[in-house]
Structure 1
């Protein structure tokens, strides 16, 4: 797929470019970004160059990973990153994100997640957008909840991060949650809470 740009009231979500390496490198020095994401730790300038110069463009070319640099709509520094990754189940994608420390607490990430979710449901014809994070990452969970994700539980040993298997919180967003039609009909399970 050709890389695209999304806009919101305050934000621009654009493909990463080689010129972003310094800002990505600086943001990824934050201990909590290294702790809660699967980026290398320590995170070197070469890691940032590889991501913005090779991995991100390759994901767009082969339709597996759609990575966006999040900036203010009128330009400025990279305030965060957001990725939409293809899942093995058809019509299903996963969202991941981080926010640079100096740009937190303003709702930028929630706004970016909602824009990317709408794009995923319309342009990619997704029927399900999943979110997961390691148990304990309350900031990521708060963003997912504000964006409308429904929490679906925990999975044991569902994430391999820096050589250690970890438990995850999981949630999902469906097109109907944003008032959008799905690609396929959806039949929710009946309420069986009173069944024997």
Structure 2
């Protein structure tokens, strides 16, 4: 698939650029980003360049992962990366995937992350025809869960020993977003807990 470009009221969402390499290296030193997400160690310039120049384009080319660079429209500043992951054969046949991101410290608390999640999820529902997007985070990462819920994700519960962080298995929260949560039509019928399809 050709990389997508999405514009919102405040954001420009497109491919990551060579100029983002240094921003990645600095972001990977941020204790909060290191605590709540899996980033390379030690987080060198070479690792950042490989991620931006190889991993991201390969995902688009192979239709497995769709990574975006989220930028402030007015300034062009990088807010952070965000993407749709996990479109393996099973995920594709079941029309579901995961969404992940991190946000640079200077742009937290401004609503940019929620705005970008909403836009990228809408794109994934309409262009990839997904019927479910999952978000998973360590139980103690309440800020990310609050952001997901703000967008419209439903907190579905706790998954024991679901993620690995710093060589330790940890419990995680699971949240999901459906097309209907954004006012969009699903690609196939959905019978919820109290609904019967005739």
TM-score by length of 1: 0.93
Are 2:85 and 1:108 equivalent residues in the alignment? no
Pick the structure with more strand per residue: 1
Alpha-carbon deviations, 1:86-105, whole Å to 9, x = none?
Answer: 34332001101111001111
1:68 is paired with a residue whose SS is strand
1:67 is paired with a residue whose SS is strand
State the match for 1:48 in structure 2. Answer: 48
State the match for 2:28 in structure 1. Answer: 28
Q: How far, CA to CA, are the matches of 1:57 and 1:10 in structure 2?
A: 25
Q: How far, CA to CA, are the matches of 1:190 and 1:50 in structure 2?
A: 48
RMSD across aligned positions (CA): 1.4
2:113 is paired with a residue whose SS is helix
TM-score by length of 2: 0.92
Matched positions, count: 191
8 Å Cα contact 1:156-1:166 kept in structure 2: yes
Runs of 5+ in structure 1 lacking a partner? 192-196
State the match for 2:86 in structure 1. Answer: 86
Give 1:23 shift. 1.3
Residues 134-149 of structure 1 mapped to structure 2, 5 A cutoff = 134-149=138-153
Give 1:5 shift. 0.9
Are 2:154 and 1:150 equivalent residues in the alignment? yes
8 Å Cα contact 1:155-1:168 kept in structure 2: yes
